[in-house]
Structure 1
């Protein structure tokens, strides 16, 4: 069943073509920026590590974790 009004058709606007060199430079710059952001995110995640994921004491989540040697690190919740 049709309606009383027809749906308006979208207006097609032709976009000017960019030169190949400028498009390649823009995509390379965007790829480099995305790769740099990904590296920074990975480095920040590695810095936080396992010890920064769960804090279940009276310190809460706002106090910094004490520096513990790797052998004395708690691995299970409640240890």
Structure 2
């Protein structure tokens, strides 16, 4: 029964890593230019980019397939 009530071995914790270098914040001019580039890219995609869900997209006509008209056919 001595094995059931033994204290757990202490866990050795490694010291935390050195702090990462602080990233330099972009200037307001750089932030504005980045926002303009992102806006232009978003406008280029447009409606067609949001509608196309497959290689043919939603706007392409469906292939002609014979459909069932009654249950059990």
Superposition TM-score, scaled by structure 1 size: 0.43
Q: Which has the higher helix share?
A: 1
Superposition TM-score, scaled by structure 2 size: 0.46
